[in-house]
Amino acid sequence: MNNGKVTLGWDLCYTCNYRCPYCGVWERKAEEDLLLSAQAWMKVWYKLYKIYGSIHIYLSGGEPSTYPYFFELVRGLSKEHTLEVCTNLSWDIDRLIPEISAGILKVAPTFHPRFANFEDFFAKAVKIKEYLPNFQVYYVAYPGQIIDMPERSKRFKERGINLIPLPLRGDGFVLNSEEEKRIVEEVSPYRGNKIAYQLQRISPKGKLCMAGQLYAVVRVDGTVDRCSQYRNASLKNILDEDFTLSAKPLPCEKDYCP
Question: What DSSP letter does each residue of 132-145 carry, written as one string?
Answer: STT-EEEEEE-TTT
Report d(CA 110, CA 88) in Å as an integer: 5
Pairing of strands 169-170, 162-167: unpaired
pLDDT of residue 172: 82
Span 105-118, pLDDT tens digits: 999 999 999 999 99
Report d(CA 179, CA 137) in Å as an integer: 22
Q: What is the pLDDT confidence band of residue 1, given thresholds at 50, 70 and 90?
A: very low
Report d(CA 172, CA 258) in Å as an integer: 9
Q: What are the strands of the beta sheet with 105-111, ordered from one edge?
A: 162-167, 136-141, 105-111, 82-87, 56-60, 7-11, 215-218, 224-225
What is the pLDDT of the chain when averaged over all its residues?
A: 93
Report pTM: 0.94
* Cβ neighbourhood burial of 41 (10 Å; 0-12, 13-18, 19+): buried
Cα separations in angstroms, 137 against 74, 149, 219: 20, 12, 23
Report d(CA 236, CA 238) in Å as an integer: 7
Q: How many CA atoms lie within 13 A of 241 on its CB side?
A: 0
Tell me whether the omega of the peptide bond preceding residue 98 falls within 30 degrees of 0, making it cis. yes
Span 2-18, pLDDT tens digits: 456 999 999 999 899 99
Helix (H) or strand (E) holding 111: strand 105-111
Q: How many residues does the chain have?
A: 258
Say yes or no to pLDDT of 143 above 70.
Answer: yes
Determine the 3-state secondary structure of 234 from DSSP.
Answer: coil
pLDDT of residue 29: 64
Report d(CA 87, CA 64) in Å as an integer: 7
Q: Are the CB atoms for 169 and 256 separated by under 8 Å?
A: yes
